[in-house]
């Protein structure tokens, strides 16, 4: 599945490079952006609340609710989700699946409870730099926590699928970390949604080869916003 990303900051659609460098605003109308991706064939929209990721609590829920009420495809949402109550509120608001990051890394009891209560309505995003898990909007590393060790912990709890982002690739248009994705698939047997670095259709062609190994989706952001290819072209290639 090709999944377009909508990164929100201050109610606007933006893209960062590696989480914070060189921010660019692409739209001040997130609903219009979401409708555009749906029109081009999106079956799922990936929304990140960047304000939430940096501060520890979602800040763009108004925009998210508006998107959900204006499109007919599911939304997965992450960024600052650090309590069970927040997960409940997001699911009640219509979010199909909630993405967990920092809190899932730092609090195993929370992680276990989230999985036991919500099962596949929650998914963990493993954001890594040189194989080390990153937290708090990628501003800090998780005390040397190796991403494969963390992934195996997730599998032990019961998770069957994860999102994996190489933070050094995100927003760079430098190509995905295919070796990292392969390593994660092989070492864990988890299903993986890959994110970060896609720059051209050729990248998606290479990633498609990992489908039989458990790659279930690719989140694409900057390449779409910069017009490197259309979502329609990407979906056609993936299928």
Residues with catalytic annotation? 7, 127
Structure tokens at 148: 């494969």
Q: Do β-strands 97-100 and 75-78 pair in parallel, antiparallel, or remain unpaired?
A: parallel
DSSP letter string, 156-196: HHT--EEEEEETTTTTS-S---HHHHHHHHHHH--EEEEES
How many other CB atoms are there within 10 angstroms of residue 92's CB atom?
8
Query: 5 pairs with which residues across the strands?
Result: 46
How many H-runs (helices) and E-runs (strands) does the chain carry? Answer: 11, 12
Where would I find the beta strands (DSSP E) of 28-158? 45-49, 75-78, 97-100, 122-129, 132-135, 140-146
| Longest CA–CA separation in the chain, Å | 43
| Phi-psi domain of 77 (left: phi exceeds 0; alpha: psi -120 through 50; beta: other) | beta
Structure tokens at 41: 């064939």
Residue with the two structure tokens 């109550």: 85
């Amino acid at each position: 599945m090709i999944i377009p990303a909508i990164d929100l900051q201050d109610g606007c659609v933006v893209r960062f490079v590696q989480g914070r460098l060189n921010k660019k605003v692409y739209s001040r109308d997130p609903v219009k952006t979401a409708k555009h991706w749906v029109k081009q064939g999106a079956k799922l929209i990936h929304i990140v609340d960047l304000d939430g990721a940096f501060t520890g609590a979602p800040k763009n829920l108004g925009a998210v609710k508006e998107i959900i009420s204006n499109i007919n495809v599911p939304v997965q949402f992450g960024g600052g989700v650090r309590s069970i109550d927040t997960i409940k509120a997001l699911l009640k608001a219509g979010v199909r699946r909630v993405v967990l990051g920092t809190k899932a890394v730092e609090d195993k009891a929370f992680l276990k409870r989230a999985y036991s209560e919500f099962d596949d309505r929650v998914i963990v995003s493993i954001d890594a730099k040189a194989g080390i898990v990153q937290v708090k909007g990628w501003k800090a590393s998780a005390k040397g926590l190796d991403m494969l060790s963390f992934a195996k912990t997730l599998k032990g709890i019961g998770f069957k699928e994860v999102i994996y982002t190489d933070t050094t690739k995100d927003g760079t248009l430098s190509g995905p970390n295919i070796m990292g994705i392969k390593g994660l698939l092989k070492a864990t047997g988890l299903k993986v949604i890959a994110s970060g670095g896609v720059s051209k259709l050729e990248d998606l062609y290479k990633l498609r080869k990992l489908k039989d190994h458990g790659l279930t989706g690719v989140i694409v952001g900057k390449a779409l916003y910069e017009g490197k290819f259309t979502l329609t072209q990407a979906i056609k290639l993936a299928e």
